[in-house]
């Protein structure tokens, strides 16, 4: 029976193509906005969570407090951090913009000095090598980000000059999609200090907690010690989990806020669908009378119009799902191409598809409840008289 009702609903929709198309567009526009916003925001949240996962759940970040933008390097004695109970290892990063010259291209580049953890020689943040190896701390060696190697046209094994000092390129990183990582040059922390002739400054310190130590509790202890020991600068101390939770919370609020705003257009589309169904009932009053005269009960008429409104909602939702997915994908591709970031990734999975289509059908049926109820209550005699 439901199959017959669905086929009859499709027949009635096709009989009024222009009106049905306008109704579908109203639903599709709202669903397009919702799908595009949700898929992009969920994709961004997952991308950020992956970055924090690469950093490690036991890592605590110590950053110089600053205003807008990237904070300037600040003076910090790493021995203070190493002396705190519960600290397993300490690393540091310092970032400077310096004059860099290859055989083909001169220019300026972000030069990042890295002091890895004592028990882990890898670069921070999950950066992986595409070619070569990591630099050795006691040698004039560098590793280039993928974008920097491309822009300066430097190959593995060649030399590059930083502040009139030659360094040997021993590695090139895999592309990350993050400009700060891809368009940078990495070398030993001490080598950068020699280049700029200033010691003890850091852009970021990383503390790895001991296995039995709670990173969040240790972050609070580090903050307390720094407030008592360091008077020249303020530092912000947070565990990677705290930062991940903070970013996820902000993105979740943003997603629901934007989704609610986009949902207003869905409500408008639902009102348009209800109006379409009311007009259909007026036009088909005589048909309803014939159906009742042939033995159709109220519940048959009610289900007929609910199925028709649900099919309209489903078709509109399907169109919005396809267009919204295409828009989200286009935004991600544009961000990758022009902004050089993979932050705008797309989360277009089964849960989103099922949720979008289910909501569209539910919206369509809710919009059709009152019109369907009116149709079901029509008096068959009066309906047959209607012309």
Instruction: Break the chain into its structural domains and give their ranges.
Output: 2-52+246-385, 66-233
Longest dimension (CA), the chain: 99
What is the per-residue pLDDT for 110?
Answer: 94
Q: Sign of the CA dihedral 153, 136, 63, 88?
A: positive
Average per-residue pLDDT in the chain? 85
Mean pLDDT in residue range 58-70: 75
Query: Which of 1-10, 53-62, 160-169 is the most confident on average?
Result: 160-169
Q: How confident is the model at residue 68 (pLDDT cuts 50, 70, 90)?
A: very low
Strands 165-173, 159-162: pairing is antiparallel
Q: How confident is the model at residue 128 (pLDDT cuts 50, 70, 90)?
A: confident
Mean pLDDT in residue range 332-359: 81
Rounded-to-integer distance, Cα 239 and Cα 359, Å = 38
First-last CA distance in the chain: 29
Q: How confident is the model at residue 163 (pLDDT cuts 50, 70, 90)?
A: very high
- Kindly tell me if the per-residue pLDDT of 167 is higher than 50: yes
What is the per-residue pLDDT for 282?
Answer: 79
Query: Which of 9-18, 32-41, 51-60 is the most confident on average?
Result: 32-41
* Closest C-alpha to 347, from 79, 74, 46, 144: 46
Question: Which pair of tokens denotes residue 137?
Answer: 């701390």
Q: How confident is the model at residue 62 (pLDDT cuts 50, 70, 90)?
A: very high
* Closest C-alpha to 221, from 239, 201, 248: 239
Question: Which pair of tokens denotes residue 257?
Answer: 């806020």
Q: How confident is the model at residue 16 (pLDDT cuts 50, 70, 90)?
A: confident
Mean pLDDT in residue range 148-171: 94
Question: Which pair of tokens denotes residue 245?
Answer: 């939770």
- Kindly tell me if the per-residue pLDDT of 19 is higher than 50: yes
**Where is average pLDDT lowest: 125-134, 139-148, 182-191?**
125-134
The more confidently predicted of residues 149 and 299 is 149
Segment 3-6 long-range contacts (CB within 8 Å, at least 24 positions apart): 5/303, 5/304, 5/307, 6/307, 6/311
């Amino acid at each position: 029976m439901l199959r017959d009702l669905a086929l009859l609903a499709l027949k009635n929709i096709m009989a009024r193509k222009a009106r049905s198309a306008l109704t579908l567009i109203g639903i599709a526009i709202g669903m397009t906005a919702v799908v595009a916003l949700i898929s992009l925001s969920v994709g961004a949240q997952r991308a950020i969570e992956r970055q924090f996962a690469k950093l490690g759940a036991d890592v605590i970040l110590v950053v110089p407090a600053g205003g807008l933008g990237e904070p300037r390097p600040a003076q910090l004695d790493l021995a203070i951090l190493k002396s705190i109970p519960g600290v397993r290892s300490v690393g540091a990063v310092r970032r400077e913009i310096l004059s860099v010259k290859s055989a083909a291209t001169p220019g300026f580049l972000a030069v990042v000095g890295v002091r890895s953890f004592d028990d882990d020689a890898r670069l921070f943040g999950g950066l992986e090598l595409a070619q070569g190896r990591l630099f050795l701390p006691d040698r004039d060696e560098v590793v280039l980000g993928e974008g920097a190697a491309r822009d300066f046209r430097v190959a593995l094994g060649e030399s590059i000059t930083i502040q009139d000092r030659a360094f040997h390129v021993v590695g090139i990183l895999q592309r990350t999609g993050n400009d700060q990582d891809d368009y940078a040059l990495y070398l030993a922390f001490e080598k950068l200090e020699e280049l700029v002739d200033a010691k003890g400054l850091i852009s970021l310190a990383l503390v790895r907690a001991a296995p039995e130590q709670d990173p969040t509790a240790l972050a609070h202890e580090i903050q307390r010690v720094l407030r008592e020991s360091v008077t020249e600068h303020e530092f912000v101390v947070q565990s990677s989990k705290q930062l991940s939770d903070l970013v996820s919370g902000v993105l979740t609020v943003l997603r629901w806020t934007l989704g609610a705003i986009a949902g207003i257009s869905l409500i408008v589309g639902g009102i348009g669908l209800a109006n379409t169904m009311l007009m259909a009932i007026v036009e088909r009053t005589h048909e309803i009378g014939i159906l009742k005269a042939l033995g159709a009960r109220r519940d048959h008429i009610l289900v007929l119009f609910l199925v028709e409104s649900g099919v309209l909602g489903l078709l509109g939702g399907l169109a919005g799902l396809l267009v919204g997915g295409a828009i989200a994908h286009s935004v991600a591709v544009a961000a990758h191409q022009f902004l050089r970031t993979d932050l705008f990734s797309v989360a277009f999975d089964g849960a989103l598809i099922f949720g979008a289509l289910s909501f569209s059908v539910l919206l369509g049926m809710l919009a059709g409840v009152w019109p369907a109820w009116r149709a079901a209550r029509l008096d068959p005699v009066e309906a047959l008289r209607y012309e």
